[in-house]
């Protein structure tokens, strides 16, 4: 995901740094894309959360986009509730956890998709900001269905970052973040993607 995100100049410009809790390809991808990459070796979610809390003592103008697979905890989470976001490969609140896509396919659901949401103390909880719902074609190989969900996650994340860059993300504790000027016509994505998103990205919508 990160390798596709950092191809876009506005993403690089608005990103302070990429931080990982171990040596991994994530940091190298960030650095190769021109973004600072930092490794803070941490044994668990609390240790990593505490390290982030020390690294970012003033987060008034910072949002966190998480690809982390452990739970944020402690003071870092408490101080930044509503400012940490994750994109999960299922239509929450269904199919939480590490295997959201696989659990969706294993069910009788006729839709798969993703949810970009705020992070709270639970597993894939928080407020949904944008969701995508895609019909499951069970005649396709699993990898092709998974790629569609990946594209939905990528498009959702790019749209979210565009909303942030344009100042359209409204942070509220209750009922949670919202998007200024959001549209809700019948669509794969809710709220709808901006009509000019793919022109801005310079690529085609492969889910259209």
Three-state SS for 200? Answer: helix
CA dist., res. 193 & res. 93, Å (int):
21
Buried b / exposed e over 145-175, threshold 16 CB at 10 Å, is bbebbebbbbbbbbbbbbbbeeeebeeeeee
Contact 85, 160 (CB under 8 A): yes
CA dist., res. 119 & res. 149, Å (int):
20
Contact 73, 86 (CB under 8 A): no
Can you count the helices (H) and strands (E) in the chain?
A: 8, 9
Three-state SS for 90? Answer: coil
In the residue annotation, 8 being an active-site residue is answered as no
In the structure encoding, which two tokens stand for residue 208, read together?
Answer: 């259209």
Catalytic choice (88, 99, 117, 147): 88
In the structure encoding, which two tokens stand for residue 71, read together?
Answer: 């739970």
Three-state SS for 129? Answer: strand
Tally Cβ neighbours within 10 Å of residue 6. 19
What amino acid positions are annotated as catalytic residues? 88
């Amino acid at each position: 995901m990160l390798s596709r995100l950092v191809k876009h100049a506005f993403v690089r410009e608005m990103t302070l740094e990429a931080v990982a809790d171990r040596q991994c390809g994530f940091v190298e991808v960030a650095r190769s894309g021109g973004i600072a990459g930092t490794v803070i070796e941490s044994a668990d979610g609390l240790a990593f959360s505490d390290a982030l809390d020390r690294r970012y003592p003033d987060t008034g103008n910072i949002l966190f986009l998480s690809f982390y697979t452990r739970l944020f905890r402690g003071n870092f989470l408490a101080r930044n509730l509503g400012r940490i976001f994750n994109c999960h490969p299922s239509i929450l609140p269904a199919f939480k956890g590490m295997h959201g896509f696989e659990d969706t396919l294993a069910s009788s659901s006729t839709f798969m998709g993703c949810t970009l949401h705020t992070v709270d103390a639970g597993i894939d909880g928080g407020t949904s900001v944008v969701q995508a719902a895609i019909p499951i074609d069970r005649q396709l190989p699993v990898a092709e269905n998974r790629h569609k969900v990946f594209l939905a996650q990528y498009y959702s994340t790019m749209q979210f970052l565009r909303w942030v860059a344009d100042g359209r993300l409204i942070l509220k504790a209750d009922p949670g973040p919202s998007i200024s000027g959001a549209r809700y016509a019948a669509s794969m994505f809710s709220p709808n993607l901006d009509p000019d998103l793919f022109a801005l990205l310079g690529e085609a919508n492969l889910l259209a």
